[in-house]
Amino acid sequence: MQTIVAVKGLTKQFKNLSAVQDLSFSVNEGDVYGFLGQNGAGKSTTIRMLLTLITPSAGEVEIFGKKLTSNRNEILSQVGAVIEKPDVYKYLSAYENLQLFARLSGVKVSEEKLMAQLDKVGLAHRAKDTVKTFSQGMKQRLGIAIALVHDPKLIILDEPTNGLDPQGIADIRNLILHLSRDLKKTVIVSSHLLSEIEQVATRVLIIDKGKKIVEGNALELFDPSQTIVELQTFDNGYALQQLQVSAWNIHLQPQRDTAILIKLDRQLIPQLHRDLVDMDIQVLSLQPRHSLEDYFLQVTSGNQYVDTYSN
């Protein structure tokens, strides 16, 4: 499968703040790539570097197999993006906004195609209405239509459901699935909304404090048959050493704070407990964490509240 985006060692330092630290990941053709992290984790900074809105302090980005630094214009001509709330002209109609942005992009598009574009995002029936009469969700969908006007191969959406009501969130979710399944676009979507990423993503990257925590296939990360077990012992250092040289090593997850995290089928928990005893590990607690929210909180910064639905 073709790699659309390859990021290696991406870093951004703002004076004393490390916004992104040595971040590496890849996005394959056809992915809905979920970029998941708490507010302030570094998602937007990373996306702005992908769009050349911010210059990296270090690292390398390749898009469509070409270096971004030396092929910027060629690459960005095949990328569409919506960064947070779309910047549209509220006193123009949806059609006029789309027509204007098409001209600014240097794209000649017929009225028929512009209307088809609005139809793709569910706005054809409001094409002649001024944007000031639109809900925030409709403005978001118009922003996506503008991002699609030049028929890009890659679409980047930064927190597309921010500030939306439940219907608006559902509309954006369905639109992302439409872009992927029907229009065969590669989509990167960043969010702190766990349930939304779970419903649309094929692959997921979780970052925290600018660092990659875990990257993988969404079906595996969100598999309901799998359980995250939090292990606390009298000596976690010794316990971790023993687990790393045992058959349980493949189940170990990135360690955060004072807990050892193990991902496994819940039916294996009794066997894990027996093996811990055999390894002379003195267990203080062995606690299953069932939900995606539990997992997310365990592998990120811990005490912050993370929305599973909305802001």
Lowest average pLDDT, out of 118-132, 207-221, 268-282, goes to 207-221
Neighbours of 275 (CB within 10 A): 16
| 224-299 topology per CATH | Alpha-Beta Plaits (3.30.70)
Question: What is d(CA 71, CA 68) in angstroms, rounded to the nearest whole number?
Answer: 5
Are both 3-220 and 224-299 of the same fold?
A: no
Question: What is d(CA 264, CA 273) in angstroms, rounded to the nearest whole number?
Answer: 12
Any idea where the domains of the chain sit in the sequence?
3-220, 224-299
Task: State whether residue 174 is helix, strand or coil.
Answer: helix
Task: Give the sign of the dihedral formed by CA 150, CA 156, CA 158, CA 161.
Answer: positive
How many percent of the chain have pLDDT more than 70? 91
**Residue 305: Cβ-neighbour burial (10 angstroms; 0-12, 13-18, 19+):** exposed
105-161 pLDDT tens trace:
787 888 998 998 899 888 999 999 999 999 888 998 999 999 988 889 999 999 888
Mention the CATH class of domain 3-220: alpha beta
